[in-house]
Amino acid sequence: MKSLFGSLVYCLFLFVSDVYGTYRLNGFDPQQVTAQSYAQRRNNARPPLRTLDLSVTDNSCRSRPLDLVFIIDSSRSVRPGEFEKVKIFLADMVDTLDVGPEATRVAVVNYASTVKIEFLLKAHLNKPNMKQAITRIEPLAAGTMTGLAIKSAMTEAFTEESGARPKSKNIAKVAIIVTDGRPQDQVEEVSAAARGSGIEIYAVGVDRADMTSLRLMASNPLEDHVFYVETYGVIEKLTSKFRETLCEMKVVVVVEDPCKCEARLAFQMQTQAALQEITARLTDMTGRVEQIENILGPV
């Protein structure tokens, strides 16, 4: 009996110490980037299991409120006609969303060798204006600086000054990246930083897209966040799949296995509020265990 209670107290102490050591509330934690990157590398060999299902065509679903940023590749490999297909995809996605000041807000980040914020989350709060702005987007031509685009989205588009809602409102932050090539810069660390800041990332690969990079960018589970289509000619068909996904989206993270690295981060964040109380009770619990041991004696 003595060893049992002693073990319980010891395990609880280790849990509290571990959580404090791997998650900090003040500012961004480099350890979180490392853990996120490790989770992606561990899953990188696994091919995305989710494939395009063209049978999902229901239009009746009302999406949950989102701060949604599209990050679109307009490098030289994307031909003008193909880029028009991407814009049709964006317009179709807007049609499926419940757009408004208190509903879903949308921004578009356009990138090649440079990055251009086409419009911010606060810019267009109704569908007609938003779709009109999409028609005016022009390709940037050279280069594929995907990492720079993700960083720009995180630091410029997903800010309260740009129209993102504060964390207290529990509005999910989602980025959808569309690319047909291989990044010419590093995407692993910046993607981990974006995910660590609370942004859920979906990666859509087209034609010659580098699948390794897509898996490094996307959130876990990869089978739910990595998509691939063979040509831009069918990319608009992904609208039905994203409608299904975004309608099912929940703001609260559900952890299935706290022992997994990627799930563990979410678990630690959810339990942070309770840590202070747990720590305060450790001393009291130790005293009670000693009282029980004195009464029961060794077994």
CATH number, position 237: 3.40.50.410
Rounded CA-CA distance 99/138 in Å is 23
Cα–Cα distance for residue pair 278/281, rounded to 1 Å: 5
222 by Cβ neighbours in 10 Å (0-12 / 13-18 / 19+) ranks as buried
Q: Determine the pLDDT at residue 266.
A: 58
Q: Is residue 22 part of a domain?
A: no
Rounded Cα distance between 202 and 180, Å, is 14
Q: Which pLDDT score is estimated for 265? A: 59
Take residue 40 and report the two structure tokens written for it: 């992606």
Is residue 81 in a domain? Answer: yes
Q: pTM of the entire structure?
A: 0.66
The answer to whether residue 54 is domain-embedded is no
Number of domains present in the structure of the chain:
1
Query: Is residue 137 a part of any domain in this protein?
Result: yes
Quick check: is 184 in a domain? yes
- By residue range, what is the domain housing residue 116? 66-246
User: CA 97, CA 65: separation in Å to the nearest integer?
Assistant: 9
Q: Tell me, yes or no, whether 132 lies in a domain.
A: yes
Residue at 247: amino acid letter: C
C-alpha distances in Å from residue 269, one per residue of 149, 164, 219: 27, 21, 16
Q: Which tokens go with 59? A: 């239009």
Tokens of 194: 């974006």
pLDDT in tens, the chain (299 residues): 545 445 544 554 444 444 444 333 344 555 555 555 545 555 554 444 343 333 333 444 566 899 999 999 999 999 999 999 999 999 999 999 999 999 999 999 999 999 999 999 999 999 999 999 999 999 998 899 999 999 999 999 999 999 999 999 999 999 999 999 899 999 999 999 999 999 999 999 999 999 999 999 999 999 999 999 999 999 988 998 888 888 754 444 444 444 555 555 556 666 665 666 676 666 677 766 676 667 776 55
Amino acid at 170: N
Output the CA torsion sign for 78, 82, 83, 87.
Answer: negative
Residues 35 and 265 sit within 8 Å (Cβ to Cβ):
yes
SS3 for the chain is CHHHHHHHHHHHHHHHHHHHHHCCCCCCCHHHHHHHHHHHHHHCCCCCCCCCCCCCCCCCCCCCCEEEEEEEECECCCCHHHHHHHHHHHHHHHHHCCECCCCEEEEEEEECCCEEEEECCCCCCCHHHHHHHHHCCCCCECCCCHHHHHHHHHHHHCCHHHCCCCHHHCCEEEEEEEECCCCCCCCHHHHHHHHHCCEEEEEEEECCCCHHHHHHHCCCCHHHHEEEECCHHHHHHHHHHHHHHHHHCCCCCCCCCCCCHHHHHHHHHHHHHHHHHHHHHHHHHHHHHHHHHHHHCCC
Radius of gyration in angstroms for the set of CA atoms belonging to the chain, rounded to a whole number: 23
Cα distances (angstroms) measured from residue 28 to each of 18, 32, 170, 196, 259: 17, 8, 19, 8, 22
